[in-house]
Structure 1
Amino acid sequence: MINYTEIFPTRQELRPYIESYVILALHTTKINTKVFLSRPGATLLISSIPFSANKQTIETGVLLGISDGSKILNWKEMATARGLIVKFSPYGLSRFTDIPMEHLGNEALSASSVWGNSFRKTQNKLMETAHVTTQIEIAEAFLMKLFIKPNEIDKRIFRIADIIKTKDTCNSLESIIKEIPLSQRQIERRFKALMGVNIQTFNRICHFENVKSLLMEKQPISLTEVGYQAGYYDQAHFIREFKRFTAYSPKSFFEKAPFYRYISKLND
């Protein structure tokens, strides 16, 4: 059995930087592997049992930087496990550590190596309670203590990411860029420092995020239609990019990644 609950931030200050929290409770011996697919933002996973990421032991807390590929997490002989996932917005993680995001891109790191003893204490508190509201309160209190307020230039860089991610046709990227008192090269460097990837890679990740959303919809549509709606110019391009991000073809993905098959059923 899998209990999967997604909750949005309760603190107004965190909403631009945290997309959501996912509370997981798994009671099964059938799934001990989770494929974390690329998404336009970093991800923090806190688990009640140890696991490894891409064959590297990461204890019970892992920070996944924004990535243009998938990460495979494994639990050993899992029967029961609880977890909390924090899904950061594209630039969200940059507000909670002074480590440049480009150093975290495509990485899976022990969360305690980034936040030290304060994270370990928070993790212990989180795993001591099964009350969802209390877990969110603990997580948000931890994040608020770390919060770094952005300057005006960084806010404008954030706006570039928001426009790309949401396909906001009401705003022009060109006009936003002109408002930033930096050269094109400086803007690109700052974008990578705040997001973890360059603008071109970020755009590719956002296209893939659209694919995931369409594949998880209640009403199934053809793969051809998925590719078209997600913004790929032809089917071959769609399949090629999908394989780059997941190592699977679109047709075989749910067979090879059982956790996503279960989650898609929960959405029905």
Structure 2
Amino acid sequence: MNLDTLAVIRAGYKPVQPTVRQSGGSVAYLEMLPDHRLQPFIHCYWQLKTSVPLENPFLYRVVADGCIDIFFEADRPEKSFVMGFCKQYTEFELDSVFNYVGVRFLPTMFPQLFKIDASSLSNRTEDLEAVIPSTARFVAERFVPGLPTSAIRQQLDDYFLRHIARTDFNHDPRLYGAIATIMQKSGVLTIEKDIDSGISPRQLRRLFEYYIGDTAKTFSKIVRFQNILRAKPSTHSLRENKLFYDAGYYDQAHFIKAFKSLYGVTPSRAFGR
């Protein structure tokens, strides 16, 4: 696969998940870079774990980020999952003790690596065994309770380096050219007017649904949202500077409604200032 194409995605898209706030320090969320040879394909490995047992079940919110994740409970690796592209936020109720580990793939990379139609996983979480049995077996066999984070990362690096070495990639310039345009414009564009892919809208839609999991328009919406998260605006700047216009929203009400569907709370609650 063309390394320049991969570099465009890695450099142009840095999905953000919110930090854990409501646990009083009893829950930690950590992101780790994979081996440098994997970074064009995998955005990060992540770990979400308790340091002490919680008094109540923990509600964890995942905001829309345009990615597909594999994840599992490190102390019970026989159960692993894949979470597809989601066009809105998702909430999981976790037990009072947990240690989840995940792999967050950059856009298009999960279908490239596993030859699976991304749209078949969109807006849902499935058992990994039903989707990629070989990867589910690897997780179940190679991870044991109490494995340190450094060892978890090494196991994942070794597995995905071997997998990538035997994978044939489909570099379609029509798809990746369209993705590059969306990223360059921060998701603020009119698909029909601003993307010249050289194929029909129907063909472009099929490419996006297979490799991303939804349409170019939906992906643009999430890129736009993620750019706002990375900017970390204050509620004052959102209100007074009318940043929602620059981000392509018609008015403040439209912006708040769209943001809440992707994040789960209003901008003022999300940015907390």
TM-score band, normalised by shorter chain: 0.7 to 0.9
Query: Are 2:28 and 1:9 equivalent residues in the alignment?
Result: no
Which residue number in structure 1 is paired with residue 215 of structure 2? 198
Tell me if the contact between 2:205 and 2:216 (Cα under 8 Å) persists in the aligned partners. yes
**Aligned-residue offset at 1:253:** 4.8
**Aligned-residue offset at 1:145:** 4.3
Which residue number in structure 1 is paired with residue 6 of structure 2? none
Distance 1:152 1:137, change over 3 A: same
Distance 1:144 1:158, change over 3 A: farther
Tell me if the contact between 1:122 and 1:139 (Cα under 8 Å) persists in the aligned partners. no
**Aligned-residue offset at 1:117:** 4.8
Of 90, 96, 113, which residue of structure 2 is paired with 1:71?
90
- TM, length-normalised to structure 2: 0.73
Seq. identity, %: 21
What SS class does the counterpart of residue 149 from structure 1 fall into? coil
Tell me if the contact between 2:80 and 2:139 (Cα under 8 Å) persists in the aligned partners. no
**Aligned-residue offset at 1:200:** 0.5
Of 179, 183, 186, which residue of structure 2 is paired with 1:161?
179
Counterpart residue type for residue 265 of structure 2: Y
Distance 1:227 1:190, change over 3 A: same
Whole-Å Cα distance in 2 between the matches of residues 31 and 213 of structure 1?
29
Distance 1:203 1:3, change over 3 A: same
**Long gaps (5+) in structure 2:** 1-25, 188-192
- TM, length-normalised to structure 1: 0.74
Whole-Å Cα distance in 1 between the matches of residues 259 and 156 of structure 2?
33
Query: Are 2:55 and 1:33 equivalent residues in the alignment?
Result: no
Tell me if the contact between 2:75 and 2:146 (Cα under 8 Å) persists in the aligned partners. no
Whole-Å Cα distance in 2 between the matches of residues 230 and 127 of structure 1?
45
Whole-Å Cα distance in 2 between the matches of residues 16 and 241 of structure 1?
30
Distance 1:151 1:141, change over 3 A: same
**Aligned-residue offset at 1:123:** 4.0
| Cα-to-partner distance string for 1:152-172 (whole Å, 9 max, x where unaligned) | 32x541342243235379xx9
Tell me if the contact between 1:46 and 1:123 (Cα under 8 Å) persists in the aligned partners. no
| Cα-to-partner distance string for 1:12-58 (whole Å, 9 max, x where unaligned) | 1x2222111113331241561211111111122222367xxxxxxxx
Tell me if the contact between 2:57 and 2:93 (Cα under 8 Å) persists in the aligned partners. no
| Cα-to-partner distance string for 1:119-154 (whole Å, 9 max, x where unaligned) | 23324423445332321221133334444332232x
Whole-Å Cα distance in 1 between the matches of residues 160 and 244 of structure 2?
37
Give the length in aligned residue pairs. 237
Which residue number in structure 1 is paired with residue 19 of structure 2? none
What SS class does the counterpart of residue 237 from structure 1 fall into? helix
Whole-Å Cα distance in 1 between the matches of residues 170 and 126 of structure 2?
27
Tell me if the contact between 1:17 and 1:88 (Cα under 8 Å) persists in the aligned partners. yes
Tell me if the contact between 2:110 and 2:116 (Cα under 8 Å) persists in the aligned partners. no
State the Cα RMSD in Å: 3.2
Mean Cα deviation higher: 32-41 or 136-145? 136-145
Whole-Å Cα distance in 1 between the matches of residues 185 and 130 of structure 2?
35
Query: Are 2:46 and 1:22 equivalent residues in the alignment?
Result: yes
Tell me if the contact between 1:43 and 1:64 (Cα under 8 Å) persists in the aligned partners. yes
Distance 1:159 1:17, change over 3 A: farther
| Cα-to-partner distance string for 1:217-253 (whole Å, 9 max, x where unaligned) | 7x77644356356443421221110132244333345
